[in-house]
Amino acid sequence: MPNLSGKYNRDTVQVEEALNRIQAHVRVLETETVPLAQASGRRVAARIAAPHPYPAFRRSGMDGYAVRAADLAAASRDTPVVLEVVEHIPCGCVPERPVASGQTSRIMTGAMLPEGADTVVMFEMTETIERDGAACISVMKPLVSGTNVSGIGSEVSEAELLLEEGRVIGAGETALLAVFGITEVPVYRRPTIAILSTGSELLPADAPLEPGKIRNSNAWMLAERVRALGGIPLVLETAADELEHVRAAILEALAQADAVITSGGVSVGDYDVLADWLVSWEGTTLFTKVAMRPGSPTSAGVLNGKLIFALSGNPGACFVGFELFVRPALAAMQGTAGPALQRIRALLGEGFPKVNNYPRYVRGTLSFAEGRVYAVTHRHNQSGSLISIKDTTALIVIPAGGSGLQPGDLVDVLLLS
């Protein structure tokens, strides 16, 4: 029997220190190139610069007439300026005739401006007339030169940074890559994350309920989060609370995955075998207790250069442990340093009278009223409850100590979405 006294006497580390220890062991994954159509949700693995200016040609912003602004300088209701229409320019065409003084070309939104012209008068400001058998327009107002024209590079100049390394590719990013013709995108490899649920009480989701048992929800929740953060979840068969069984499952998982998340068995119970293993194993233990609620027994270690996140089995604690520790690690594996969660300050909506010996990460959401941001805690915030997870968009940080918080007190809030 290994010496398990460490299971009961654990050093407590602060959340920040626990995260630092994890980040120190993150290995940034290799990069690969994927077609643009498969780049959604991936993180860019290089600094991507604009290969050409955008727009690449002087472009009309309106359906109207391309003119020389100087020609319209004296235009007024009483002295309209008459210009001869010399060409029609649809989108996608290169104008064939320059616009000389006294001339104009009919031009469509998005079409290339003809030489000589510097301004576009929208149709609504013109009147078409005929003069000496020629099609003309009359304009009754001057325009500032450049009106309704997007100049070359006015939006993006050549070589300008488009996407910084580590950025997640979403709608705006894909649009940029497409418009610049970057159809082979350098991205970080997606981390494969093995998910092992431990617990002899766990049934698969499709099993009929049995007395004393519950269906496994953590595996589904964790897989969903891993997928949403760019990883590939590898959900393993649930392990019974037996040390050898759990150990073997983790070792096998480490061979196939970039990191392993376990849930359950980290506290001091008789069948909390992960806690047993982490004090007697061959790996490096990073921490086995964190100054936080829920999830104080959350543990982590490194074996064969790979991280093992041993999250609590309690669904609320499992969720919070994932967001605080696994999420930043997933981001870092895919090339993004820095905090994974944005921290803001908000006014506490309802009071939180409970005094804590550890900082508490309360599931909640933000609400907005009269220009103020309120942090609203959810009712079911026990470590063991899971009903509030679906409505959680933020973790509200209630500091340790003190004498409870009043409505309107300023609190730190970690934004999850």
Ligand X SMILES: Nc1nc2c(c(=O)[nH]1)N[C@H]1C(S)=C(S)[C@@H](COP(=O)(O)OP(=O)(O)OC[C@H]3O[C@@H](n4cnc5c(N)ncnc54)[C@H](O)[C@@H]3O)O[C@H]1N2
Residues that bind ligand X (CB under 6 A): 197, 199, 201-202, 214, 216-219, 263-269, 272, 294-297, 312-315, 317, 383-384
Cβ of residue 108: shortest distance to ligand X, in angstroms?
A: 60
Nearer to Mg ion, 52 or 215 (CB): 215
The first and second tokens of residue 370, run together, are 């009269």
Q: Distance between CA atoms of 331 and 29, rounded to whole angstroms?
A: 10
Q: Partners of 346 in the beta sheet?
A: 411
Residue 295 interacts with ligand MOO (CB under 6 A): yes or no: yes
Residue whose C-alpha is closest to residue 363's, from 324, 312, 316:
316
Q: Partners of 400 in the beta sheet?
A: none
Q: Which stretch binds ligand MOO (CB under 6 A): 118-126, 181-189, 291-299, 407-415?
A: 291-299
Positions in the binding site for Mg ion (CB under 5 A): 267, 269, 272
Residue 388 interacts with ligand MOO (CB under 6 A): yes or no: no
Residue 299 interacts with ligand MOO (CB under 6 A): yes or no: no
Nearer to ligand X, 173 or 272 (CB): 272
Among 119, 312, 334, 392, binds ligand MOO (CB under 6 A): 312
Q: Which does 315 bind (CB under 5 to 8 A by kind): Mg ion, ligand MOO, ligand X, none?
A: ligand X
Nearer to ligand X, 55 or 294 (CB): 294
Nearer to Mg ion, 293 or 306 (CB): 293
Name the one residue in this structure whose structure tokens are 């008789």: 270
Nearer to ligand MOO, 314 or 334 (CB): 314
Three-state secondary structure call for residue 168: strand
Residue 288 interacts with ligand MOO (CB under 6 A): yes or no: no
Cβ of residue 173: shortest distance to Mg ion, in angstroms?
A: 43
Q: How many CA atoms lie within 13 A of 290 on its CB side?
A: 33
Q: Which does 120 bind (CB under 5 to 8 A by kind): ligand X, Mg ion, ligand MOO, none?
A: none
Among 80, 230, 294, 328, binds ligand MOO (CB under 6 A): 294
Among 84, 383, 409, 412, binds ligand MOO (CB under 6 A): 383
Residue 293 interacts with ligand MOO (CB under 6 A): yes or no: yes
Strands 410-415, 394-398: pairing is: antiparallel
Among 216, 314, 381, 388, binds ligand MOO (CB under 6 A): 314
Contacts of 240 (CB under 8 A, 6+ apart): 198, 199, 200
Residue whose C-alpha is closest to residue 286's, from 11, 9, 5:
11
CB 413 within 8 A of CB 360: no
Q: Distance between CA atoms of 242 and 47, rounded to whole angstroms?
A: 48
Cβ of residue 32: shortest distance to ligand X, in angstroms?
A: 32
The first and second tokens of residue 43, run together, are 């993180």
The first and second tokens of residue 228, run together, are 């949403």
Instruction: Classify residue 376 by burial, with Cβ atoms within 10 Å: 0-12, 13-18, 19+.
Output: middle
Among 317, 331, 362, 375, binds ligand MOO (CB under 6 A): 317
Q: Which does 219 bind (CB under 5 to 8 A by kind): ligand X, ligand MOO, Mg ion, none?
A: ligand X
Name the one residue in this structure whose structure tokens are 């918080």: 405
Cβ of residue 293: shortest distance to ligand MOO, in angstroms?
A: 5
Binding residues for ligand MOO, rule CB under 6 A, total 8
How far is residue 123 CA from its own chain's centroid?
43
Nearer to ligand X, 199 or 335 (CB): 199
The residue at minimum Cβ distance from ligand X is 313
The residue at minimum Cβ distance from ligand MOO is 383
Q: Which does 71 bind (CB under 5 to 8 A by kind): ligand MOO, ligand X, Mg ion, none?
A: none
Between the two ends of the chain, the Cα-to-Cα distance in Å is 45
Question: What is 174-207 written as a DSSP string?
Answer: HHHHHHTT--EEEEEPPPEEEEEEB-TTEE-TTS
Angle at 341 between CA 173 and CA 336, to 5 degrees: 50
DSSP classification of residue 6? H
Nearer to ligand MOO, 95 or 294 (CB): 294
Q: Distance between CA atoms of 101 and 188, rounded to whole angstroms?
A: 55
The residues that touch ligand MOO, with contacts defined as CB under 6 A, are 293-296, 312, 314, 317, 383
